[in-house]
Amino acid sequence: MAISLSVVLLLAVILVVMIRGGSIKAGPAIVAVLFGFFLASTDIAPSVNRFMNSLADMINQINF
């Protein structure tokens, strides 16, 4: 739960920065958000969730 919440916040911050910086317009940003929302309700959502969890675990294991 903590990982998914922090990923959502990170992606939200990146989206806001991209919109304000002019890298992405509001229309495509809304489409991307809606795509993510509807993707979460499909059968592929658990696979995406497992991939993101394994990616977060891999990043967590990196020692600096």
pLDDT score of 54: 92
CB of 6 closer than 8 Å to CB of 59: no
Residue 10 to residue 59: CA distance in whole angstroms: 15
pLDDT score of 2: 56
pLDDT digits (tens, 9 = 90+) for 19-64: 898 888 888 888 888 888 888 888 888 888 889 889 889 988 998 8
Helix (H) or strand (E) segment spanning residue 36: helix 26-39
**Better-predicted residue by pLDDT, 53 or 1:** 53
Other beta carbons within 10 angstroms of residue 10's beta carbon come to 10
pLDDT score of 8: 76
pLDDT score of 45: 84
Three-class DSSP category at 22: coil
